[in-house]
A = this chain, B = another copy of it.
Amino acid sequence: MEKPLILVSNDDGITSPGIAALISVAKEFGDVLVVAPDKPQSAMGHAITINQPIRLTEVHLYEGVTAYQCTGTPVDCVKIAIDKLLTRKPVLMVSGINHGSNSSINVIYSGTMSAAVEASIDGMKAIGFSLCDYSWDANFEVIKPFIRQIIASSLENDLPYGTLLNVNFPVPEDGHIKGIKVCRQAQAKWKEDFDKRKDPFGRDYYWMTGKFVNLDHGSDTDEWALAHGYVSVVPTQFDLTDHQRIAILNQWDCFNHGM
């Protein structure tokens, strides 16, 4: 009997330790197809490549796994997998493990989460995994049991069209992860602080830097869970409509009357 198929991508690139860790867990659940960027594509959000061609190259990096590196963005990787590589529907798409947090507002900038969103738009069950540790040699071993459990539950349970999971792992000081919490996305933002420099020709240029600001005091948020040693799981949607606001907007003059 044919084994179930799992599609894997990320944004840190196909050679990152994070994707290697995710592939090793995904293999326990079925056949694995990897289509991931050939270089780091962090913070690419939901960008797609429309003004340049894309290349796709099969690589033999992971034993027993079909893998392609792609010159495009994380979302490009998922799109080209759907159109050119998938011969059957995956039971699951997993993205990551991201080197660094994709909790709260970071979900919007994240290429890792955008790849999962794109798979979800196409109708796949999808999960993005991220570890709150930016280092290349982060310890992915300790979180593998949680990934295994979340993948197993995702395969057993329904996840309706329009919803995917954003999973973030804490790095507790004592090394002990307390459990898993289903959360809402915390209200947070980055306070920009561009570093202005002069190039060798005397011209100004800027590096984007910033400081994360959590504006949310709720204890039901992903930031709270992560700060208290829990894995955060946020059910995430790509319907951006603020449905509650529709009735209120209909009271505005310009929407009430014709021109």
Interface residues of A (CB under 8 A from B): 40, 42-51, 53-56, 72-73, 75-76, 79-80, 82-84, 105, 107-109, 114, 117, 121-122, 145-146, 149-150, 152-153, 156-157, 162-163, 166, 177-185, 187, 189, 192-194, 196-197, 203-208, 210, 233-243, 245-246, 249-250, 252-255, 258-259
Contacts and interface: CB of A to CB of B under 8 A. Distances in A.
A80 B254 contact: no
Given A43-B48, A207-B53, A249-B182, A240 B242 contact: no
Closest CB pairs A-B (n = 9): A45-B46, A235-B245, A83-B192, A45-B45, A153-B254, A235-B242, A53-B205, A237-B242, A47-B47
29 contacts: A42-B51, A44-B47, A45-B47, A47-B47, A48-B109, A53-B205, A54-B194, A54-B206, A55-B206, A79-B194, A80-B192, A80-B194, A80-B206, A83-B193, A84-B196, A84-B206, A108-B121, A153-B253, A153-B254, A156-B253, A157-B252, A163-B245, A180-B254, A182-B250, A184-B241, A233-B255, A237-B241, A237-B242, A238-B240
Nearest to A84: B194
Contacts of A107: 240
B254 A54 contact: no
Contact of A192 (B50, B79, B184): B79
A114 B45 contact: yes
A66 to B, nearest CB: 17
Nearest to A80: B194
B206 A187 contact: no
B204 A55 contact: yes
Contacts of A50: 42-43, 208
